[in-house]
């Protein structure tokens, strides 16, 4: 049995997302412990790289630069921690293909500024929120070492979600609620529909 509401998960995250992670994904993850960690490592590296690309593109936004520099550092630290954990477990870090997930949202990002940045930040908030929720969902099923590591990640990814959303909200006068609702709906679809391969952000087994 898997609990939908983990006590360590901030309630706000579940309210923000369209749906909780389906139980079928949790079972899928537990059947694929090696891929879970390899793809987790990939996700941390990509999270750092997304933050870095914002540092290059929006050099006049000091609030964004400060938040993203810190975020990139934290994600790289998480990456280092996953790699170390994998090493301890004798898991070989091999290249694996990306989930359809991030691209499934990014393809809807508008190309004009400042809309582009608003969308990129909203997508960032959603990815962080889902990661936070998935770590929390896995914790009750994991060994002590991994559970302890993931408990720490629930806190930091929850904070990253807040940072991204705050950065998106302070841009422009217009409300971003419609855009958030749009991307949340896309994300819900990617999470709840059949997927071909197991990944940290995959849908459910076909
Ligand atoms: Fe992370
Ligand atoms: Fe993060």
Number of alpha carbons in the 13 Å side-chain half-sphere of residue 171: 23
C-alpha 124 chain-centroid distance: 7
Which ligand is nearest to the Cα of residue 149, counting in written order?
1
Which ligand is nearest to the Cα of residue 124, counting in written order?
2
Is 1 a residue whose pLDDT tops 50?
no
In tens, the pLDDT along 113-150 reads 999 999 999 999 999 999 999 999 999 999 999 999 99
Q: What are 72's two structure tokens? A: 């990139």
Instruction: Compute the distance from residue 127 Cα to the ligand 2 centre, in Å.
Output: 8
Tokens 């998480």 sit on residue: 78
Q: Which domains does the chain have, with CATH numbers?
A: 32-200 (1.20.1260.10)
CA dist 195 and 199 (Å) reads 9
The CB density around residue 90, as the number of other CB atoms within 10 Å, is 7
Confidence band of 97 (pLDDT split at 50, 70, 90):
very high
Instruction: Compute the distance from residue 201 Cα to the ligand 2 centre, in Å.
Output: 13
CA dist 136 and 39 (Å) reads 17
């Amino acid at each position: 049995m898997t609990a939908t509401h983990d006590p360590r998960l901030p309630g706000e995250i579940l309210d923000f997302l369209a749906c909780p992670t389906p139980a079928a994904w949790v079972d899928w993850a537990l059947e694929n412990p090696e891929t879970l960690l390899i793809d987790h490592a990939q996700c941390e590296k990509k999270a750092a790289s997304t933050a870095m690309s914002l540092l290059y593109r929006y050099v006049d936004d000091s609030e964004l630069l400060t938040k993203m520099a810190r975020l990139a550092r934290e994600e790289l630290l998480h990456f280092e921690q996953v790699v170390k954990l994998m090493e301890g477990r004798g898991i070989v870090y091999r290249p694996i293909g990306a989930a359809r997930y991030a691209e499934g949202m990014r393809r809807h990002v508008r190309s004009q500024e400042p809309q582009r940045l608003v969308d990129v930040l909203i997508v960032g908030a959603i990815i962080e929120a889902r990661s936070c929720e998935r770590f929390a969902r896995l914790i009750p099923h994991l060994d002590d070492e991994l559970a302890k590591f993931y408990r720490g990640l629930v806190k930091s990814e929850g904070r990253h979600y807040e940072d991204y959303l705050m950065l998106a909200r302070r841009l422009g006068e217009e409300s971003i609620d419609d855009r958030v609702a749009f991307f949340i709906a896309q994300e819900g679809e990617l999470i709840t529909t059949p997927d071909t391969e197991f990944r940290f952000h995959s849908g459910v087994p076909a």
